[in-house]
Amino acid sequence: MPEIQHIHPILVHFPIVLMYTLVVIDLAALANRNAVTTRSGVGTISSFAAAAAGIFAVSTWFFGGIALDHAEAAGFSSQIAEIHEGLGGISALAFLGWGLFRLALWVRNRELKTLGPAIPAIEVAGAALVTVTAYYGGQLVYDLGVNVTRAAVGG
Model confidence pLDDT, tens digit, residues 116-132? 789 999 999 999 999 99
Nearest to 80 by CA among 130, 143, 128, 7: 143
d(CA 1, CA 112): 45
Which pLDDT band, with edges at 50, 70 and 90, does 52 fall under? Answer: very high
CA 96, 101, 106, 111 torsion: positive or negative? negative
d(CA 51, CA 119): 14
Nearest to 11 by CA among 82, 91, 76: 91
Residue 151: pLDDT over 60: no
pTM, rounded to two decimals: 0.90
